[in-house]
């Protein structure tokens, strides 16, 4: 079947505004408009990381100044509907769990649908789910019905997370075949930066809306839903997909290169990936890298405080010997440490993914596992030496590789499985993230409690945990080492690929197949600058606010 026949076959009699056919770029479209569109969505849904900013105010939603405790016999299921007492922070934490369970499961379930309808429709659905979920949660806060918050932000919002997270992956990889890692790194950097913007914004909005009878969370949810909806719709409607066969001028698709011999120009169908060994090896690679990183993220603040105690504020005292005022002082220092880690987490997503374009994905992950393992193993020694510099430096690099792992994996998948259905395959791989979100924190928290039960001093309770995390990275290293090129039997035939392109409503024409990131710049350079300013200004504000917190650490 020729490109012309494919083009005719893929056009439906009636094409709606959100249909994929309406998003195919014309000649001269500047591909640098697509990354800010992806960032606009990721910076909004990334607020899922920062939802803990609401926990303390919500735990006093009725009592305002002091929480109204529920009776001892009130269990979790009763808390879903009870209106006479405040929610516990441990109960509120279930929203955080639902976010990432639904993110992974929805991405896996609807990844194939997304590939066929295109990023615009998926982005719009994501906006309605995420922002609509916030509105339902606002009503839940107003009526003091926790089940509505779980349904709104947890379930419906979680579905929006999954669709929004993977919506730009396939599109960016197709626009930047020459820089796959950099392209996905830019978008996924936004997910890490979402809390950096959203948390201080939410704090200021709650302070503005708070009264003597209201903690201000419900109107904050409404305000953020409106702001996020505008940004997410702007991003979704800006999405464009390249015509079939498009490539940057002067660039030739490599069968292999000196850094990565596993880049393919063929394509695997998403329905086959469950049976392909390389998929499960990469599943383990992502799961182990994320488990190790996410395990320490949640404990980074208490870990620093318990390991160094009074030394953080110039006192030669252990954590257990500090009074209330001193504990508050070191908590402020630890907050700066956490903010510093968030900057490295975000920066690592872009930097490591960009490096992977030069190093190759497999080599990049080898760096993560080898360097990460050495750094984790060094933590007990640097703690025993009392070296805050070595301790903090190790965790900063570790968190950069944690973020880099997220940003590099889509390009790794595209290299091995092809680009036709990489978004859907990435969606299925994200079930590894959901697993890691349970495994990592459980290991760290359980081992900490176990070590404390043995009577170990607080400054030593994390030593064994670090060695367990090293073991996880060793498993990841072995799995990455075993990754080989995909067997030819798993790739789609030419006929299957044509059929899949038809289902995906792909279009190509002779005057749209060749292009360049620089071509057309004179036609839309202003739009490029405006698009980047729209996401760059909020991101810069978030970095500034985070840097102010980091200053407390120093």
Q: What is the mean pLDDT of the chain?
A: 85
Q: Give tens-digit pLDDT for 52-62.
A: 888 888 988 99
Identify the CA nearest to 486 among candidates 426, 427, 413, 420. 413
pLDDT band at 2 (very low <50, low <70, confident <90, very high): very low
Confidence at residue 511, expressed as pLDDT on a 0 to 100 scale:
38
Tens of pLDDT, residues 476-513: 999 999 999 999 999 999 898 888 888 777 754 433 33
Residue 264 in this model has a pLDDT that exceeds 90: no
Cα distances from 22 to residues 41, 238, 482, in angstroms, run 20, 11, 42
The predicted structure's pLDDT at residue 517: 39
Cβ density class 461-490: b for 16+ within 10 Å, e for less: bbbebbeebbebbebbbebbeebeebeeeb
Q: How far apart are CA 26 and CA 465, in angstroms?
A: 54
What are 104-162's pLDDT values in tens digits?
889 999 988 998 899 999 999 999 999 999 999 999 999 999 999 999 999 999 999 99
**What is the pLDDT at residue 460?**
75
Per-residue model confidence (pLDDT) at position 162 = 93
Three-class secondary structure of residue 505 per DSSP: coil
Are the C-beta atoms of residues 49 and 298 closer than 8 Å to each other? no
Q: What pLDDT, on the 0 to 100 scale, is given for residue 521? A: 35
Q: Within 13 Å and on the Cβ side, how many CA atoms surround 157?
A: 33
pLDDT in tens, 512-545: 334 443 344 335 688 889 999 999 999 999 889 8
Read off the pLDDT of each residue in 159-171 and give the average, rounded to a whole number: 91
pLDDT value at position 298?
66
Q: Tokens 């978030």 map to which residue?
A: 542
Helix (H) or strand (E) holding 514: strand 514-515
Taking the mean position of all CA atoms in its chain, how far away is CA 445?
22
Per-residue pLDDT at 259 exceeds 50 = no
Confidence category of residue 11, pLDDT binned at 50, 70, 90: very low
The residue among 107, 223, 94 whose CA lies nearest residue 149 is 94
pLDDT band of 7, cuts 50, 70, 90: very low
Going by C-alpha positions, the residue among 89, 90, 103, 87 that lies closest to residue 49 is 103
Comparing 51-55, 379-383, 446-450, the range with the smallest average pLDDT is: 446-450
CB-based contact 352:409 (threshold 8 Å): no
Q: What would the mean pLDDT of 405-413 be, rounded to a whole number?
A: 94
Residue 507's pLDDT is 59
Two tokens, residue 349: 């997503």
Q: What's the pLDDT band for 284 if we cut at 50, 70, 90? A: very high
Indicate the SS3 state at residue 491.
strand
Q: Which residue has the higher pLDDT, 457 or 147?
A: 147
pLDDT at 96: 79
Residue 316 has pLDDT above 70, yes or no: yes
- Neighbour tally for 131: CB within 10 Å: 26
Provide the pLDDT for residue 473.
95
pLDDT value at position 115?
87
Q: Which are the contacts of 324, defined by CB distance < 8 A and separation ≥ 6?
A: none
Both structure tokens of 523: 């036609």
Task: Decide if pLDDT at 69 tops 90.
Answer: no
Q: What is the pLDDT of residue 482?
A: 97
Range among 12-16, 45-49, 370-374 with highest mean pLDDT value: 370-374
Q: Which residue in this structure is represented by tokens 């929610």?
A: 87
Q: Of the candidates 65, 62, 83, 85, which has an alpha carbon nearest to the alpha carbon of residue 218?
A: 62
pLDDT of residue 12 exceeding 50:
no
- 1: pLDDT strictly greater than 70: no
- Calculate helix-pair angle for 89-117, 431-453, nearest 10 degrees: 160
399: closest CA among 116, 49, 3, 26?
A: 49
Per-residue confidence (pLDDT) for residue 518, from 0 to 100: 38
Per DSSP, the residues of 237-269 read: HH--BPPTT-EETT----S--SS-TT--SS-B-
Distance in angstroms (rounded) separating the CA atoms of residues 368 and 400: 9
Q: What is the mean pLDDT of residues 180-188?
A: 89
What are φ and ψ of residue 394, in 5° steps?
Answer: -60, -45
285 or 70, which is more confident: 285
Q: Decide: 379 and 391 in contact? Cβ < 8 Å.
A: yes
pLDDT single digits (tens) 317-371: 887 787 878 877 887 787 788 788 888 999 999 999 999 999 999 999 999 999 9
SS3 string of 145-160?
CHHHHHHHHHHHHHHH
Domains of the chain: 1-63+103-253+494-520 (1.20.1250.20), 267-491 (1.20.1250.20)
Handedness of CA 315, 321, 322, 323 (dihedral sign): negative
Those residues with Cβ within 8 angstroms of residue 283's Cβ, 6 or more apart along the chain or in another chain = 429, 431, 432
Position 305 scores a pLDDT of 81
Segment of 10-14, 243-247, 290-294, 299-303 carrying the highest mean pLDDT:
290-294
**pLDDT class of 258 with cuts at 50, 70, 90:** very low
- Write down the pTM of the prediction: 0.85
Q: Supply the pLDDT for residue 254.
A: 66
Q: Which two tokens stand for residue 248?
A: 């940057």
């Amino acid at each position: 079947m020729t490109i012309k026949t494919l083009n005719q076959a893929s056009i439906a009699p009636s094409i709606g505004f959100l249909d994929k056919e309406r998003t195919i770029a014309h000649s001269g479209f500047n591909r640098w408009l697509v990354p800010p569109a992806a960032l606009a969505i990721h910076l909004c849904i990334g607020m899922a990381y920062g939802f803990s900013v609401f926990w303390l105010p919500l735990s006093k939603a009725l009592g305002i100044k002091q929480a109204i405790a529920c009776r001892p016999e009130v269990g979790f299921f009763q808390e879903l509907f009870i209106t006479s007492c405040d929610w516990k922070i441990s109960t509120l934490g279930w929203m955080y769990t639902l976010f990432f369970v639904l993110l992974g499961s929805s991405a896996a379930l609807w990844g194939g649908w997304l590939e066929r309808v295109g990023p615009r429709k998926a982005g719009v659905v994501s906006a309605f789910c995420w922002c609509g979920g916030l509105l339902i949660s606002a009503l839940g806060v107003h009526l003091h019905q926790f089940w509505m918050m779980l349904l709104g932000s947890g379930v419906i919002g979680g579905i929006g997370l999954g669709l929004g997270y993977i919506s730009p992956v396939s599109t960016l990889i197709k626009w930047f075949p020459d820089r796959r890692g950099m392209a996905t790194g830019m978008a996924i950097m936004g997910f890490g930066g979402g809390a950096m913007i959203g948390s201080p914004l939410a704090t200021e909005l709650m302070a503005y809306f708070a009264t003597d009878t209201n903690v201000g969370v419900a109107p904050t949810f409404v305000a953020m839903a409106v702001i996020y909806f505008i940004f997410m719709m702007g991003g979704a409607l800006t999405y464009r997909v390249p015509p079939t066969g498009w490539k940057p001028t002067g660039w030739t698709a490599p069968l292999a290169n000196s850094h990565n011999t596993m880049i393919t120009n063929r394509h695997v169908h998403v329905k086959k990936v469950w049976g392909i060994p390389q998929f499960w090896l990469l599943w383990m690679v992502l799961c182990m890298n994320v488990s190790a990183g996410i395990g320490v993220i949640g404990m980074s603040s208490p870990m620093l405080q318990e390991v160094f105690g009074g030394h953080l504020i110039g006192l030669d005292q252990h954590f257990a010997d500090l009074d209330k005022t001193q504990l508050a002082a070191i908590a402020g220092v630890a907050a700066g440490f956490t903010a510093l880690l968030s900057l490295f987490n975000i920066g690592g997503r872009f930097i490591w993914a960009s490096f992977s374009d030069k190093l190759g994905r497999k080599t990049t992950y080898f760096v993560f596992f080898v360097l990460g393992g050495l750094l984790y193993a060094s933590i007990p020694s640097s703690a025993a030496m009392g070296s805050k510099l070595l301790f903090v430096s190790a965790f900063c690099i570790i968190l950069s590789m944690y973020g880099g792992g997220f940003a590099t994996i889509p390009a790794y998948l595209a290299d091995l499985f092809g680009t036709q259905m990489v978004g859907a395959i990435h969606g299925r791989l994200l079930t590894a993230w959901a697993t890691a979100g349970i495994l990592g924190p459980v290991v760290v928290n359980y081992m900490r409690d176990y070590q404390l039960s043995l009577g170990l001093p607080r400054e030593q309770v994390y030593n064994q945990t670090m060695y367990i995390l090293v073991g996880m990275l060793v498993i990841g290293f072995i799995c990455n080492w075993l990754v080989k090129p995909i067997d030819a039997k798993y790739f789609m035939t030419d006929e299957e690929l044509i059929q899949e392109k038809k289902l995906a409503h792909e279009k190509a024409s002779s005057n749209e197949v060749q292009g360049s990131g620089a071509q057309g710049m004179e036609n839309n350079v202003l739009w490029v600058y405006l698009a980047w300013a729209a996401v760059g200004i909020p991101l810069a504000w978030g970095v500034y606010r985070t840097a102010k917190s980091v200053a407390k650490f120093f």
